[in-house]
Structure formats: structure tokens, C-alpha cells
Amino acid sequence: MFKRFFGRFSKDVGLDLGSAHTRVYVRDKGIVVDEPSVVALNIKTDQIISVGHTARDMIGKTPAHILTSRPLNHGIISDYEVAEKMIKYFIDKIHEDGVNLVARPRIVIGAPLEITEVERKAIEDASYAAGASVVHVIEAPMAAAFGVRLPVEEAIGTMIVSVGAGITEIAVISLGGIVTWRSLPIAGDEMDHNVVQYCREAFNLLIGDRQAELVKIKLGSAEPLDAAEQMSVRGRDLITGLPREVMITDSQVREAIHRSIKAIIDSVKAALEVTPPELVADIHERGIVMVGGGSQLRGLDRAIAKAAEIPVRVADDPTTAVVRGTGLLLEHPAVLKEVELPSARVQDKVG
């Protein structure tokens, strides 16, 4: 009885633990947190100094006793303790205006397709340690499909391509389940590294990941632009060791990220090749839907459409598709029960 009573006051949470950004959806409020998945820790006191935007601004600029960490790599928890602190920070943040008697929240979390049982257990353990009462883990492409209101529960083939920061996932969905899929660790972060490597090889210039990301956002494209663009890039000269500034063009950035884009396109084609023909027919009629921050790279949708010979569209607000899907599933517990992954903690106890 008390559980039901306090459950009315619980701020149930949908959570998108991304390699680059963590987004939190609170029932009846919508998306309340959209912050970089970065934590700054004082290693002397083991205390959190900052989380999110402020912590990201500290990357590469901290003294020895302050550590900036991205606790997720390719959508997987790579630093359990820091991930737990980060999740707890965000849960505490959404309860700041509440009372001490507020019940612990239910949490729905989107997870990568290739997640192992051990990795799934790490996500669940971190969430429980951060204050969750119940944790539901669902596949992120499935959450994204719900988030963009695709008819995933019907007998209709739907293809969703999620290009995030650390991982690209392609899934064909029908009747509430994933029929075929592909996953590759090539996405936005890899394109940033491509730009860093290109500047090193072409200009003998060492630039940081933040600078590379800015270059990718401003000049990056999968196809030639209507008008040439360029911008200045600052870094350290590898020969003299002194600061230097060079101009980089959109064609040079396109050359730098070409291999990553080709890998994504090849994976989409590979997924289509093993998809049952009836579902391929549906996808050809309805088109492919793209989500994730990487889907906003100029011309990527057209490049995929040209290679696959299937219409492609980028979803509205593609970066929040997963967290909106987790929030929608909070409102539909029966559907959530059908699509959630088995709890690794339960399996551990049974085994």
C-alpha cells in the first residue's frame, strides 16, 4: 500500500546514456536534462566537481588532481564508479525541488544492441546504486523507434539508423521486435578522430578533439556542398612545438571523414541484404528513418538514399529520439514489459 502511495510522487525517469550526451526524461515534465556525459572529479577527495557542460569545458585544461572522465565508451559503461556518480547526480538534480519522502524512481534505459549480459548488469547495478527502485533496459534503436512514433508494433517493416557519438546502429523492426541489425563502433567520435589525424598528416598540426568536433559540425558533409566553405583551425605545430593556425576547407574535411561515412553506408546495405524480402518491400515503400546527432551531418541521408536506392529522412529532433522513447514507454507499462531486455541481475541470482 505504501509503495503504491509513494509511487504517485515518484519522478519516474527515462534515461539515454550516450557516449557524448546523457539525456533524462521525467514523466509529466518531458526532457529535463541534456548534458555532456563528462564528469570532473577531484581525485584527492573523490568528490564530483562538476558534471556536464562545465566538466566538458575542463577537458585538457585540468591540474593533476582533477580528472575529467567520459564514463561511457561506445554506449557501454567503461568506468563503473564514475558512471554511478553521474547517474546519481542527475537523479538528485531532478529531485531537488521535491521532498525527502519522494519514492525512488523507476528508470527506463536505452542500451546498445551488442550489449553483453555483463555490460547490461553494470548498467542496472549503477542505476540501482544511484537510487532507482526498478530498472528496465531496452534496446536503444527500439526506444528511438518509439520516440519518433514509428509503427513498430505492427506487422510492418521499419528500418531505423542511429548515428550517435560512439556507435552506429541499424535495426529492422517488426511486430515489436528487432528482426535484423548491424552495429559498428564508427560514428561521430570516429569522425572527430579522422579530422585530428588529417590535420596531423596534412598540416603537421596537432589539434584537440573539441576543435575537431567543431570543424566537423561546421564543415563536415557526406556530399560536395553547393558553395565551398572554410574555417581556421588552431593547434600545436608538430615540428616547432609552437602554436599555429591554418585554414581547412569543406573538401578536406570530407576527405578526412570519407572512410567512416563509407563504413556506415556499407553497414546499412549489409543489413538490407539479410532482411526478409517482405520487410525490404515495406522499407522501400516507407523509407529509412535516421536518428542520433551524427544523422545531422550534411548530405549523409542523401548519400545513404543514393547507395541503398531507398528514401531516407532524418527524424525531427533526432538527438532526443531515444530518451523520448524511454519516456513514452514509462506511460505504457504493458508495452514496456514486451520490449524490455531480461534483467541480468535476476539471471545472475538464478544462475
Quote the CA–CA distance of 65 and 43 in Å, as a whole number. 6
Residue 7 is predicted with a pLDDT of 44
What is 188-257's CATH superfamily?
ATPase, substrate binding domain, subdomain 4 (3.90.640.10)
Contact 37, 71 (CB under 8 A): yes
Q: Residue 102: its pLDDT value, please? A: 54
Per-residue pLDDT of the chain (351 residues; tens, 9 = 90+): 434 433 444 578 999 999 899 999 998 889 999 999 999 999 888 888 999 999 999 988 889 999 999 999 888 888 888 898 898 888 888 876 554 435 688 999 999 998 889 989 999 999 998 888 999 999 999 999 999 999 999 999 999 999 999 999 999 999 999 999 999 999 999 999 999 999 999 999 999 998 999 999 999 999 999 999 999 999 999 999 999 999 999 999 999 999 999 999 999 999 999 999 999 999 999 999 999 999 999 999 999 999 999 999 999 999 999 999 999 999 999 999 999 999 887 554 444
Domain 2-143+321-344 is classified in which CATH homologous superfamily?
ATPase, nucleotide binding domain (3.30.420.40)
Q: State the Cα angle at 231 between 226 and 234, rounded to 5°.
A: 155
Buried b (16+ CB within 10 A) or exposed e, 123-151: bbbbbbebebbebbbbbbbbbbbbbbebe
Sign of the CA dihedral running 43, 49, 52, 58: negative
pLDDT of residue 349: 46
Give me the pLDDT at residue 96, please. Answer: 67
- Would you report the helix, strand and coil content of the chain in percent, each value rounded to 5? 40, 25, 30
Q: What is the DSSP letter of 104?
A: P
Q: What one-character-per-residue DSSP string does 186-205 give? A: -SHHHHHHHHHHHHHHHH-E
The answer to whether the 148-186+260-319 and 188-257 domains have the same CATH topology is no
Cβ-contact 96, 88 below 8 angstroms: no
Q: Return phi, psi of residue 69, to 5°.
A: -135, 140
- DSSP label at 10? -
Q: Which CATH superfamily is domain 148-186+260-319 in?
A: ATPase, nucleotide binding domain (3.30.420.40)
Return the pLDDT at 11: 75
Q: Where do the domains of the chain lie? A: 2-143+321-344, 148-186+260-319, 188-257
